[in-house]
A and B are shown apart, each in its own frame.
Chain A
Amino acid sequence: MIRTVFAATVAVSVSALAALADPAVVMAPGGAGGGYDATARLPFEAMAAEGIFTDGATFTNKGGAGGTIGLTEFVNSSRGNDNAVMSMGVIMVGGILLNNSPVTLKDVTPLVRLTNDTGVVAVGPDSPIQSVEDLVAALKADPGAVAVGGGSAGGVDHIAAALVAKEIGVDPAKLNYIPYDSGAETVTALGGGALTVAISGVSEFKPMADAGRIRIIAVTSEGRIDGIDAPSLTEAGINVVIGNWRGIVGAPDMTAEGKAMWLDRFGKMHDSQAWKDILAKQGWVDAYLAGDDFAAFLAEEEVRTGTVLKDVGLIQ
């Protein structure tokens, strides 16, 4: 939410013919310290450390309305600027639809998907629900009696819950979904028995599961995850794969040269040790997808999210 402008402390190499440095202009559509903020800053940290891009960067934090306020400002202020990029993710895809934002991701230039935080489905430690099958049975018997907790209404957790409901033949609009502001609140509500089941990111739930506060019954990735003794939804017979992915887009009307330049930089960064270290430290899962592949993925996500949000009745 706060704008911090600081030039990355990067030495500008001064050779006889060196042109003026061209710092990147980076928008983080979320507050300092959050996910979008880290997705905006850390790639530049890695690029600077590896000498891939050393001209520095100025960062602007502009949170609010699922990231759409930052998106709007980015589109309005950086059209055609090859040095301007923005961090974004699946939450923004939903945020645009929910807030009926006049500016959409069609206005920007997709560059790369970088990371993914897999979702996990968990229950309380003493819950009679032991497995995905138990959960499906409970949902089919009386969807209203199963209080499902997770992040904001229409966010990735809600969409995951709705996809599961749809897949097992329960009307997503009948889901008793209860949004929470923070993972801390969700975990305590689940551990204390107020919620029957909750969905959140693996990074938020795994430490609590390791401490025995909650029990993970499924993960939303394609296969199993190391360190979690639970099947994926697909493995348990529910064909749902979803994650909280984040990536980078470029300015509206970015030139082909500009796009190629950034894809080259991110490609080198992705192979670098500095980036691998950052992934490990942040607990992020690598989900690198570049250029046209990412654009195609983005289009699919927009369609899927739009359908689900209509199903649960959040948009018309």
Chain B
Amino acid sequence: MDPVAGLLHGFSVALQPQNLLWAFVGTFMGTAIGVLPGIGPALTIALLLPVTVYIEPTAAFIMFAGIFYGAMYGGSTTSILLNTPGESGSMMTALEGNKMARKGRGAAALCTAAIGSFVAGTIGTLCLTFLAPPIAELAFVFKPQDYFALMLLAFLSVSVVMGTSKVRGFISLFLGLSLGVVGIDKLTGLQRLTFGVPDLMDGVEMTVVLVSLFAVGETLYVASRFGLHKPNLNPLAGGIWMTRDDWKRSWKPWLRGTFFGFPIGALPAGGAEIPTFLSYTVERKLTKHPEEFGHGAIEGVAGPEAANNAAAAGVLVPLLTLGLPTSATAAILLAAFQNYGLQPGPMLFINSGDLVWGLIASLYVGNLMLLVLNLPLAGLWVRLLFIPRPYLYAGILIFSLVGIWGVSNSWVDLAMMFGVGLLGYVMRVYDFPIAPVLIGLILGPMAEVQLRRALAIGQGDWSILVSTPLSAVLMAVAALIVIIPAALHWHRTRRIEPLEP
């Protein structure tokens, strides 16, 4: 079946009333779990796996796809309004989005996030429909040295643009890197910084740090400042909709974010985080309003939000075409396929065309549904900020506690949550940026594993790191990112020097 005929057939499946209902249930649940900290789509679908016994495969997958896409939408809401991202993919959204909300532009930020997610999700699904096989091949092209170069690029580019003070930014980054080495070393099996605590052997759970630093730190900070600054902002001061100017400034970041998100999402070790880092950096470099970055620039919301949704579409590429699960959620989806006795891969399109094309068509439907669900809600969500702060933040703290307890059911995680939350508070008071901690924690272990794999395969020969065309190009770009600003700075100071007495 060629893609067009397949897709048309798929729509005839997806648009049946009961499948539309499943899509609605999925998107609704997905949005809800995206809002809740710590609870992600992988867990939700895992918990729903038993229903596969009762409902037919097409309906189940339509619902799961709705959950998957919906979670990416929902994550942006709490990031923007409350500075408490529930998913690592929406962390970069919080940086500019929350600043926008504080200026009364929360609704516009939610809109650009929702429309950006829709645009990225739709383009991603289009690429999935027509380009899946060649994109899936990327997985085989990427070698450890290519991954390492990509991660190094993400690292350097994001560190260069982070924060106002370089020293504070790097302190945060190294804090994250040291949290990242905790646990059993993957290559040698040795324990690092575990202090004999068994719960630390698998490392520090990223979600715990994310939720603690943002949600708990923010709560403590707000509580400590409550008496001094009564909140007097009007969350609706900036209107409910995006202005003409907002649209003009958003559409390019949406497209660029999609461009980063989709292919990186399709890589086995890609994920949703790296494209959001890259997208944020690029928008910050390309913007015509650099002075607004750090104070609520809409580009900084539009780009990363598009990137994380496109990455979600990218994850489905290797899963459907090769049967390769490249993320936790994809692995659970694979388990669901196997529950029905289906093996994803090239044969799936031939043997179960109904299911695959119905699933892909339902992605379009789900995307549209999410937009319809989220746009009117943007105005409603913003009213959350009218809730008196003691109630609002008490609620956030409870949801965070439940979410963290849910991650691994561990007291150590809860204790760590308060420790790291306190750290988040101190960092806020002394104006240390929060995001580099998470960037170090996420990218550090990934980059380390890839670097050591590359060196192990090359038997210690460092030249292997630039031995493929891709790694050489990425390394060169990474080097330029460091050298160009330094060179410009040196050039400027040299020209000024003769003028000084």
The residue that A98 contacts in the complex, of B46, B189, B326, B341, with Cβ under 8 A, is B189
Min CB distance, B386 to chain A, in Å? 34
- Scan residues 177-214 of chain A and give those whose CB is less than 8 A from a CB of chain B: 178-179, 181-182, 184-185, 187-189, 191-195, 207-208, 211, 213
Across the interface, name the chain A residue whose C-beta is closest to B326: A184
Q: A1-B408, A33-B49, A191-B140 are in contact. Are A153 and B343 (CB under 8 A)?
A: no
B325: chain A residues within 8 A (beta carbon): 182, 184
**Interface-lining segment among A12-20, A58-66, A105-113, A287-295:** A58-66
Q: A1-B407, A64-B408, A314-B189 are in contact. Are A99 and B268 (CB under 8 A)?
A: no
B188 within 8 A of A: yes
**Contact digits for A22-38, partner B, Cβ 8 Å, 1 yes 0 no:** 00000000011100000
Residue among B189, B324, B339 facing the most chain A CB atoms (10 A cut-off)? B189
Complex CA distance for A60 and B140, rounded to whole angstroms: 37
Complex CA distance for A36 and B408, rounded to whole angstroms: 15
A72 within 8 A of B: yes
Contact check, A182 vs B268: say whether CB atoms are below 8 A apart.
yes
A147: chain B residues within 8 A (beta carbon): 456-457
Across the interface, name the chain B residue whose C-beta is closest to A192: B140
- Scan residues 142-162 of chain A and give those whose CB is less than 8 A from a CB of chain B: 144-145, 147, 152-154
Complex CA distance for A176 and B47, rounded to whole angstroms: 39
B242 within 8 A of A: no
The residue that B332 contacts in the complex, of A33, A64, A144, A152, with Cβ under 8 A, is A33
Contact check, B187 vs A211: say whether CB atoms are below 8 A apart.
no
Contact check, A179 vs B459: say whether CB atoms are below 8 A apart.
no
**Contact digits for B157-201, partner A, Cβ 8 Å, 1 yes 0 no:** 000000000000000000000000000101111010000001101
Contact check, B459 vs A188: say whether CB atoms are below 8 A apart.
no
A296 within 8 A of B: no
B15 within 8 A of A: no
A188: chain B residues within 8 A (beta carbon): 139-140, 142, 268, 324
Residue among B143, B199, B201, B335 facing the most chain A CB atoms (10 A cut-off)? B201
4 tightest A-B CB contacts, nearest first: A65-B201, A32-B46, A192-B140, A33-B46
Task: Write the residues of chain B forming the contact surface with A, with a CB cutoff of 8 angstroms.
Answer: 42-43, 46-47, 49, 139-144, 184, 186-189, 191, 198-199, 201-202, 268-269, 318, 322-326, 331-332, 335, 338-339, 341, 343, 345-346, 406-410, 453, 456-457, 459
- Taking A192-B141, A207-B345 as known contacts, 14 extra A-B pairs with beta carbons closer than 8 A to each other, sorted by chain A number, are A64-B410, A176-B456, A178-B457, A179-B186, A182-B326, A184-B268, A185-B269, A191-B140, A192-B139, A192-B142, A192-B143, A194-B453, A207-B343, A213-B322
